[in-house]
Amino acid sequence: MNEQQGLNYQRIAEAIEYIRDNFREQPSLEEVAAKVHVSPFHFQRLFSEWAGTTPKKFLQYISLEHARKLLTEQRATLFDTAFDTGLSGTGRLHDLFISLEGMTPAEYKNGGKNLSIHYSYAASPFGRLMVASTEKGICYMAFHEEDATAVSHLRHKFPNAVIYQREDLMQQNALSIFQHDWSKLPNIKLHLKGTPFQLKVWETLLKIPVGRLSTYGRIAAQVGNPNASRAVGTAIGSNPVAFLIPCHRVIQSTGHIGGYMWGSTRKSAMIGWESAKKMSDQ
């Protein structure tokens, strides 16, 4: 990501955060543009280029406060309204393109001994990230501001693996998820280090359709333990592969966005970006 792209992302992220925090005042285009220090015309164009839709429509996609207002109009439950705030499309991108394989018990216990891991850095609509892969698939993808911190986190997860910087085709395939044309996505494979319960939760997350949301309780029920919402939350918080495993699509049953390892503003941006992307495809 070049300097200008990074600045544009920061402006859009700041705008999303401002809209969310001040939703009840219904901020105008001019007001939001002023907060990110650009002209309304430039902000409208920049936002539309970044998200594929206008700021006004994007606000409708990401605002859970707007979802609450729909309760009285549609007489829906809070969860159902929040769930449908995105889009009602039934496409399951991750069912089609992403497969998950757990590491062997030996690989899990010995910290990746005998594994060779490549990593590289890349730009995305949501900031700079690191992506890492084994010969079997993507094992790590995360947003980081500092390269040294990213490498440190990767080595902490795989202390005994041989790790070196090199871009490969597997990483390129994974990063293609951020392109606007999803019609020709290659198959993306994940090779993950996790407990059986974590792997089960992460696999369930892959089944949440693009543009839709779920809750911790719903995920717990889907993995066969409806009373395990807290454990599910912990497993989701341990997700090692940002965006590809869509933990950003899980919200609280109250309709609140909830926490996110890489920041709630980035989570809101992802939800809105996917909703706008899905709408543009229909």
CATH of the domain at 70: 1.10.10.60
Q: Across the chain, where does the E strand assignment appear?
A: 98-102, 116-122, 129-133, 138-143, 162-165, 188-192, 214-215, 250-251
pLDDT digits (tens, 9 = 90+) for 34-48: 998 999 999 888 887
pLDDT digits (tens, 9 = 90+) for 45-103: 888 777 666 777 776 665 554 444 444 444 445 445 444 443 333 333 444 468 888 88
Evaluate whether residue 251 is within a structural domain.
Answer: no
Averaged pLDDT for residues 136-164: 93
Q: Count CB-CB contacts under 10 A for residue 133.
A: 27
Averaged pLDDT for residues 231-258: 89
- Compute the residue count for the chain: 282
Give the model's pLDDT for residue 97: 61
Give the model's pLDDT for residue 180: 67
Of 12, 247, 271, 276, the active-site residue reads 247
Evaluate whether residue 68 is within a structural domain.
Answer: yes
Evaluate whether residue 91 is within a structural domain.
Answer: no
Give the model's pLDDT for residue 24: 60
145-163 in b/e form (b: 16+ CB < 10 A) is eeeeebbeebeebbeebeb
Evaluate whether residue 38 is within a structural domain.
Answer: yes
DSSP class of residue 168?
A: -
Evaluate whether residue 162 is within a structural domain.
Answer: no
Evaluate whether residue 28 is within a structural domain.
Answer: yes
With cut-offs at 50, 70 and 90, classify the pLDDT of residue 257: confident
Averaged pLDDT for residues 11-24: 76
Give the model's pLDDT for residue 18: 82
Evaluate whether residue 31 is within a structural domain.
Answer: yes
Tell me which residue range forms the domain holding 36: 3-74
247 in catalytic set:
yes
**Confidence (pTM):** 0.72
| Overall domain count for the chain | 1
Mind giving me the DSSP string for 48-66? HHHHSS-HHHHHHHH-HHH
Give the model's pLDDT for residue 258: 81
Average pLDDT, the chain: 80
More confident residue, 120 or 181: 120
Q: How far is CA 227 from CA 23, 118, 250, in A?
A: 34, 39, 17
Averaged pLDDT for residues 188-213: 89
Give percent helix, percent strand, percent coil of the chain, each to the nearest 5: 50, 15, 35
Q: CA-based Rg of the chain, rounded to a whole angstrom? A: 19
